[in-house]
């Protein structure tokens, strides 16, 4: 729930020690290197070197069935392993393409039947010309003199054979001639059978090669380590006798770094970042709520000197997602899918975080769906158990608009309170406090006017809070020092410009009404599909059951997809645009340690 404190480490040493020091830093694996020299592009050969191993590893990793992995790196020549895997990949691609082409050819030839062409001298040099003619164009055949025969019909076309020694004119019929080929249908089917067996054999070889997955992963890691070390050599500052390397180090690794420095003949300094420095951002969150970090980092990473909003994002994004989904059954399906793929998601740290976030989103969505009384668009009766838990009325537009606006105002108030806390040693902290008072006063005034609060909030408390907030905004938004009358005028101008942002905060709060609008749209669409399906069932006894099921399945799958998309996109948007706008002053870049990938 915080941004880790970093230290700046700088190492000075003899050029002869450079290679050993860089290798040691890579082994230590906790330093983000700072480029001290211009880094020329790596030669093309160096960039492409790991690609073959990566390609081979990816080919085996995607194999659906895998064998027990060999762990001994000396069990086989690694270059031979890569060559074998890439050869298998190329063979599989070629065999799959050949099989797919045969499937296409069979689909095209099947309507003509199983036949083979006789020798030309047996037909007096007469050839067969094939045309696929739509039913509505069949009248064109009546105007030609050469013999023809319809050999097959379907719901759309007639399959016609013309007999002639030479190819008919291209404008003779309204369609182009079809190219059937010289192979009969039975011959093509035999070729397809052989192609399928060839693909299976190559897939079997691929499955057998998966025993080398660990070896390939280490090859890839080793090549990546070599390239990273080469990149590190380029970012050091060098002369004939000495070198200089610098980087960012987590403060809790300082003792370990000091021990590392003591093991080499180098001098080192470890110091706090200077005001002009721009350190990377390293977030530290418990795994239970770290999914907010992944959701947030997809759009923006906070700067080093700001704060970590990922925990707030975790809970607010989940709430927004639940309100937009607005259906307990839909969220239960999402939770079931996450549970189904839990092992695959648990294969990486990022996957575990996303899995935890998805579980929480699904659970909160189920709770919200129960409270709003929506299960695939169906609302249970009040006298049932689940119906008794239904107290949120999505059809009460006025109440839901108020809920959405209050949630939006609260979200932006939290952002301003955090900004005030982060600037608590400066007078500027009173400006975000002013926005907090102004928003609270405006909402209280509005609720007083609508009768949801006592009249005193409309006449006294609401306006007082809003005016007090506006005064703080006007007086303390500007950080311009005052040394002359001209500076006073500039501060007044800055304050007036800040007050102009009242229209901006008003628009930002109203943006949260999309929570109600999208939730209502999804619920209405679910009800529409249900109504349509049961109308079909009533109007078409018997066969209507099938169409009813199809409409329900297709309709709710579409609605789930749209709701998921809306929940993710708009849920994140309200965080990274409206919320971050009032709480994050700068964007950061990720901490990337220079470390070994190989085990």
- How much is the pLDDT for 49? 52
What would the pLDDT profile of 121-162 be if each residue is shown by its tens digit?
888 888 899 999 999 999 888 888 889 999 999 989 999 999
Whether residue 413 sits in one domain with residue 386: no
- How much is the pLDDT for 39? 61
- How much is the pLDDT for 116? 84
CA separation for the pair 247, 237 (Å, rounded): 12
Cα angle 371, 513, 578; round to 5 = 115
What's the pLDDT band for 430 if we cut at 50, 70, 90? Answer: very high
φ/ψ of residue 5, rounded to 5 = -75, 135
Mean pLDDT of 202-211: 94
- How much is the pLDDT for 41? 56
What would the pLDDT profile of 556-572 be if each residue is shown by its tens digit?
999 999 999 999 999 99
pLDDT at 406 over 70: yes
DSSP calls for 193-242: HHHHHHHHHHHHHHHHHGGGHHHHHHHHHHHHHHHHHHHHHHTSEE-SSE
* 107-121, 399-413, 500-514: range with lowest mean pLDDT: 107-121
Last residue of a domain, one of 455, 487, 508: 508
Which residue in 424, 438, 420 sits closest to 474, CA to CA? 438
Whether residue 455 sits in one domain with residue 408: yes
- How much is the pLDDT for 115? 84
Q: Is residue 473 in a domain? A: yes
**Alpha helix positions (H), 299-374:** 310-325, 328-340, 342-345, 349-372
What's the pLDDT band for 441 if we cut at 50, 70, 90? Answer: very high
Domain region containing 135: 117-181
φ/ψ of residue 281, rounded to 5 = -105, 125
Q: Is residue 410 in a domain? A: yes
Q: How many beta carbons lie within 10 A of that of residue 427, not counting itself?
A: 10
What would the pLDDT profile of 508-537 be if each residue is shown by its tens digit?
999 999 999 999 999 999 999 999 999 998
Whether residue 526 sits in one domain with residue 499: no
- How would you class 264 by CB atoms within 10 Å of its CB: exposed for 0-12, middle for 13-18, buried for 19 or more? middle
- Region at 52 (left for phi over 0; alpha for psi -120 to 50; beta for the rest): alpha
CA separation for the pair 301, 278 (Å, rounded): 14
Q: Which residues of 70-105 are buried (b: 16+ CB within 10 A; e: fewer)?
A: eeeeeeeebeebbebbeebbebbeebeebbeebeeb
Q: Is residue 366 in a domain? A: yes
Residue 12, classed as helix, strand or coil, is strand
What's the pLDDT band for 170 if we cut at 50, 70, 90? Answer: confident
- How much is the pLDDT for 50? 64
DSSP calls for 63-106: -SS-PPPP--TTSS-HHHHHHHHHHHHHHHHHHHHHHHHHHHHH
Whether residue 404 sits in one domain with residue 374: no
What would the pLDDT profile of 354-367 be if each residue is shown by its tens digit?
999 999 999 999 99
CA separation for the pair 327, 559 (Å, rounded): 11
Residue 362, classed as helix, strand or coil, is helix
Which residue in 589, 3, 4 sits closest to 253, CA to CA? 4
Q: Is residue 6 in a domain? A: no
What's the pLDDT band for 466 if we cut at 50, 70, 90? Answer: very high
Q: Which residues contact residue 442 at a Cβ distance below 8 angstroms, ignoring those fewer than 6 apart? A: 409, 462, 466, 506
Last residue of a domain, one of 450, 479, 508: 508
Q: Is residue 34 in a domain? A: no
Contact yes or no for 294/357 (Cβ under 8 A) = yes
Whether residue 519 sits in one domain with residue 384: yes
Q: Is residue 474 in a domain? A: yes
Whether residue 453 sits in one domain with residue 503: yes
What's the pLDDT band for 46 if we cut at 50, 70, 90? Answer: very low
- How much is the pLDDT for 40? 58
- How much is the pLDDT for 594? 94
- How much is the pLDDT for 268? 92
Whether residue 442 sits in one domain with residue 495: yes
Q: Is the dihedral of CA 366, 371, 377, 380 positive or negative?
A: positive
* Better pLDDT: 416 or 46: 416
Contact yes or no for 292/299 (Cβ under 8 A) = no
Of all residues in the chain, what percent carry a pLDDT higher than 90? 64
Q: Which residues contact residue 468 at a Cβ distance below 8 angstroms, ignoring those fewer than 6 apart? A: 434, 437, 441
DSSP calls for 130-169: EEEEEGGGGGGGGG--S-EEEEEE-SSEEEEEEEESSPPP
- Model-level pTM? 0.79
Whether residue 480 sits in one domain with residue 353: no
- How much is the pLDDT for 43? 54
Whether residue 521 sits in one domain with residue 381: yes
Whether residue 310 sits in one domain with residue 384: yes
pLDDT at 47 over 60: no
φ/ψ of residue 278, rounded to 5 = -125, 80
Q: Which residues contact residue 171 at a Cβ distance below 8 angstroms, ignoring those fewer than 6 apart? A: none
Report how many domains make up the chain: 3
Contact yes or no for 335/437 (Cβ under 8 A) = no
- How much is the pLDDT for 145? 85
- How much is the pLDDT for 480? 87
What's the pLDDT band for 180 if we cut at 50, 70, 90? Answer: confident
Whether residue 501 sits in one domain with residue 526: no
φ/ψ of residue 10, rounded to 5 = -130, 130
Whether residue 436 sits in one domain with residue 384: no
pLDDT at 42 over 60: no
Mean pLDDT of the chain: 90
Q: Is residue 263 in a domain? A: no
Last residue of a domain, one of 508, 537, 564: 508
Q: How many beta carbons lie within 10 A of that of residue 60, not counting itself?
A: 22
Q: Which residues contact residue 432 at a Cβ distance below 8 angstroms, ignoring those fewer than 6 apart? A: 416, 417, 419, 420, 423, 582
Q: Is residue 201 in a domain? A: no
Q: Which residues contact residue 112 at a Cβ distance below 8 angstroms, ignoring those fewer than 6 apart? A: 130, 151, 152, 159, 161, 180, 185
What would the pLDDT profile of 273-319 be if each residue is shown by its tens digit?
999 999 999 998 888 888 988 888 878 889 999 999 999 999 999 99
């Amino acid at each position: 729930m915080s941004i880790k404190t970093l230290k700046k480490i700088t190492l000075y040493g003899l050029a002869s020690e450079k290679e050993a020091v860089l290798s040691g830093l890579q082994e230590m694996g906790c330093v983000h290197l700072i480029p001290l020299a211009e880094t020329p592009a790596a030669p093309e050969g160096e960039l492409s070197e790991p690609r073959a191993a990566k390609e081979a590893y990816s080919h085996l990793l995607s194999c659906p069935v895998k064998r027990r992995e060999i762990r001994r790196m000396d069990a086989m020549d690694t270059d031979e392993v890569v060559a074998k895997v890439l050869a298998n990949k190329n063979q599989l691609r070629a065999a799959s393409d050949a099989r797919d082409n045969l499937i296409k050819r069979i689909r095209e030839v099947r309507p003509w039947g199983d036949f083979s062409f006789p020798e030309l001298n047996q037909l007096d040099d007469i050839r067969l010309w094939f045309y696929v003619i739509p039913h509505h164009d069949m009248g064109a055949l009546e105007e030609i003199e050469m013999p023809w025969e319809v050999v097959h019909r379907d719901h759309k076309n007639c399959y016609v054979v013309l007999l002639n020694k030479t190819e008919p004119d291209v404008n003779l019929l309204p369609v182009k001639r079809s190219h059937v080929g010289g192979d009969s249908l039975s011959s093509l089917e035999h070729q397809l059978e052989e192609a399928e067996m060839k693909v299976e054999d190559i897939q079997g070889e691929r499955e057998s090669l998966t025993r080398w997955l660990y070896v390939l992963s280490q090859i890839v890691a080793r090549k990546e380590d070599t390239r990273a070390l080469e990149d590190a050599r380029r970012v050091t500052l060098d002369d004939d006798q000495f070198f200089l390397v610098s980087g960012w180090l987590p403060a809790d690794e300082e003792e370990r770094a000091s021990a590392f420095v003591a093991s080499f003949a180098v001098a080192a300094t470890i110091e706090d970042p200077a005001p002009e420095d721009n350190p990377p951002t390293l977030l530290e969150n418990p795994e239970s709520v770290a999914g907010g970090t992944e959701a947030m980092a997809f759009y923006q990473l906070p700067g080093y000197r700001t704060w970590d909003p990922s925990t707030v994002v975790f809970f607010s994004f989940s709430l927004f997602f639940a309100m937009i989904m607005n259906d307990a059954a839909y969220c239960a399906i999402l939770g079931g899918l996450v549970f189904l793929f839990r092992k695959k998601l648990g294969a990486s740290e990022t996957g575990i975080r996303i899995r935890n976030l998805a579980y929480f989103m699904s659970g909160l969505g189920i709770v919200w769906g129960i409270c709003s009384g929506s299960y695939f668009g169906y609302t249970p009766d009040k006298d049932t158990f689940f119906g008794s838990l239904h107290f949120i009325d999505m059809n009460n537009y006025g109440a839901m608009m108020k809920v959405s606006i209050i949630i939006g105002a609260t979200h932006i108030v939290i952002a301003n309170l955090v900004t005030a806390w982060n600037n608590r040693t400066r007078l500027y902290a009173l400006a975000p406090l002013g926005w907090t008072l102004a928003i609270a006063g405006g909402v209280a005034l509005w609720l007083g006017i609508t009768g949801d609060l006592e009249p005193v909030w409309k006449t006294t408390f609401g306006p007082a809070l809003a005016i007090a907030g506006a005064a703080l905004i006007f007086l303390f938004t500007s950080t311009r020092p005052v040394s002359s009358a001209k500076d006073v005028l500039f501060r007044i101008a800055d304050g007036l410009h800040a007050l102009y942002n009242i229209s901006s905060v008003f628009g930002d709060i109203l943006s949260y009404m999309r929570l109600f609008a999208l939730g209502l749209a999804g619920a209405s669409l679910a009800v529409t599909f249900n109504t349509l399906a049961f109308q079909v069932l009533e109007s078409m006894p018997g066969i209507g059951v099938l169409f009813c099921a199809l409409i329900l399945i297709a309709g709710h799958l579409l609605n789930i997809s749209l709701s998921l998309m809306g929940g993710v996109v708009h849920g994140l948007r309200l965080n990274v645009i409206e919320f971050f706008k009032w709480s994050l002053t700068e964007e950061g870049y990720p901490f990337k340690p220079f470390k070994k990938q190989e085990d």
